Amino acid sequence: MRDAHTRSQERILNLLKTIKKGISAQDIYVKLRNRNQSMGLATVYRSLEALKLEGLVQVRTLANGEALYSLAQQDKHHMTCLQCGISIAFNQCPVHDLETQLQATHKFKIFYHTLEFFGLCDQCQVAVE
């Protein structure tokens, strides 16, 4: 891991520390501009990619393809409705032991994992019937 980050990376990390949910690169760009810390959108993407490769930032891709970035933290798991887009987080981790095993077996440093289930929430199930 590197010791120092670029000013752009530091600004993004500081912003993500204040946000408790995933945020798109475009929204990061807008929020930084509103803080008078603007940088180009391409710089936002490059900085996010570098931080992701260090394991400091994690990305979650929604069913619609949108990527949401957040600080790497305890693994997150979601159920996402394909109809209305609601996303419900849950804490049980059925793959934690597998992660530990994979790290040991393959000598692979895992920063985080995500687990996504896609389907229909109860309200959308009723609307379909």
What is the token pair recorded at 23? 């945020």
Give residue 79's domain range. Answer: 74-129
| CATH number, domain with residue 119 | 3.30.1490.190
> Are 91 and 109 part of one and the same domain?
yes
> Are 17 and 63 part of one and the same domain?
yes
Tell me, what's the pLDDT at 1?
A: 45
pTM of the model: 0.71
Side-by-side strand order, sheet with 114-119: 87-90, 76-81, 114-119
Return d(Cα 44, Cα 47) in angstroms, integer. Answer: 5
> Are 69 and 34 part of one and the same domain?
yes
Average pLDDT over residues 1-17: 85
Residue 85 has pLDDT above 90, yes or no: no
What is residue 64's DSSP assignment? T
Tell me, what's the pLDDT at 54?
A: 92
Cα–Cα–Cα angle for 61, 53, 45, rounded to 5 degrees: 60
Average pLDDT over residues 53-61: 91
- Shortest CA distance to 95 belongs to which of 103, 87, 84? 103
Domain boundary among 73, 91, 113: 73
Domain boundary among 73, 90, 113: 73
74 pLDDT band, cuts 50/70/90, is: low
> Are 52 and 101 part of one and the same domain?
no
> Are 69 and 23 part of one and the same domain?
yes
Let me know: does 71 contact 21? Beta carbons within 8 Å: no
Average pLDDT over residues 37-59: 94
The H or E element containing residue 78 is: strand 76-81
| CATH number, domain with residue 66 | 1.10.10.10
> Are 42 and 52 part of one and the same domain?
yes
